[in-house]
Amino acid sequence: MLTNIFSENPTKVVSDIEALGIPKYKAKQLLKWLYIHFESNPDAMTDLSKKMRDELVQLYSFSLPEIAETRTSVDRSSKYKLKLADGNFVEMVIIPAAKKNTLCISSQVGCARNCSFCATAQMGLIRNLEISEIVGQVVLAGKLVKPNRITNIVFMGMGEPLDNIDNVLSALEILQAEDGISFSPRRTTISTCGIVPAIIKLANSGIRTKLAVSLNSAIETKRTELMPINETYPLEELKKALIYFRKKTSFKVTFEYIMIPEVNMAWEDINALKKYVSDLSCKINLIPWNPVSGIAWTAPRNSHIDMFLTNSQVINQTITLRKSRGSDILGACGQLAATQSQKESL
């Protein structure tokens, strides 16, 4: 089986092509086609000789995930269901705003972490995404938004990115490489439910990226009910890992707090959150819970959100209300789920 070129670090691509006796500058031209023009068809790479193109297709696969379905929201967000080579599906979302285009990508088919508010959790874990399937989402999105560019990448789609940390880190190396997309670490965010050993590994990796932690409660028993991972890595252990991460990076940690009426929006929740973040350099994103089929909670009304946001001002940290985008196409936070039944229906 041929190696997928989107799984290879650009430095390795250059050395492999040079080993064929092809000049280095020609390898650089190839990389520009892949990561500047977002072109995956060698036949379209018109400044490469036919001989070189023939050699490339003997050396590499250039396949990308296939767009199986597109849905566009009233707010202009677009969700793409992507068919993978083995017939599984994942979803990615492009969120335009002013001069920005944020790409929300997936790292797994399904998820093993069973968070009670998330549609992806209902799938269970099917498998990790390969490096080429992660990078491939960015290449597809780059092509879709041309002549504009993807300005931000968030690993907030399907799956727990830190459960697939090796492939995620390798993908980031490719995306951030000078001969790759040269994507800024400041515009990249990995979201996690709180896998402590992987947070430490990320901190030690040398790969720079922002980190967002799905917190949702700073009360031990309540967070465990919402997020079973808390039983394995409780709040204090998580905090120690985040303090370590913070020492290794220039980026503040972001906490994501999904607001669920009658679950985690009382004064006791605010006071617990205030105590938990008091000694951390962080930001807090408040996110209204988005309805998910099969889960009996109700989304917060504007009055609930306004009151919680006002009461949260007692917390001495930067607090931002993140408005949901794409909820009408099930493309908002916690709503992505390319299920087996969807797979079979296409």
- The CATH architecture of the domain made up of 66-345 is Alpha-Beta Barrel (3.20)
How are strands ordered across the β-sheet holding 210-214? 66-72, 78-83, 89-97, 100-104, 152-155, 188-192, 210-214, 253-259, 282-288, 318-321
Topology of domain 3-61 in CATH is DNA polymerase; domain 1 (1.10.150)
Q: Is 193 a catalytic residue?
A: no
Q: What is the pTM of this model?
A: 0.94
Q: Where in the chain is the domain with CATH 3.20.20.70?
A: 66-345
Nearest to 16 by CA among 64, 45, 52, 47: 52
Give the 3-state secondary structure of residue 287: strand
Q: Is 333 a catalytic residue?
A: yes
Structure tokens given for 132: 């080429």
Candidate list 104, 118, 282, 333, residue with the active-site label: 333
Candidate list 8, 91, 173, 256, residue with the active-site label: 91
Q: What's phi and psi for 45, nearest 5 deg?
A: -85, 80
How confident is the prediction along the chain (346 residues), in pLDDT tens digits per residue?
899 999 999 999 999 999 999 999 999 999 999 999 999 999 999 999 999 999 999 999 999 999 999 999 998 999 999 999 999 999 999 999 988 999 999 999 999 999 998 888 889 999 999 999 999 999 999 999 999 999 999 999 999 999 999 999 999 999 999 999 999 999 999 999 999 999 999 999 999 999 999 999 999 999 999 999 999 999 999 999 999 999 999 899 999 999 999 999 999 999 999 999 999 989 999 999 988 887 888 889 999 999 999 999 999 999 999 877 777 776 557 767 875 444 333 2
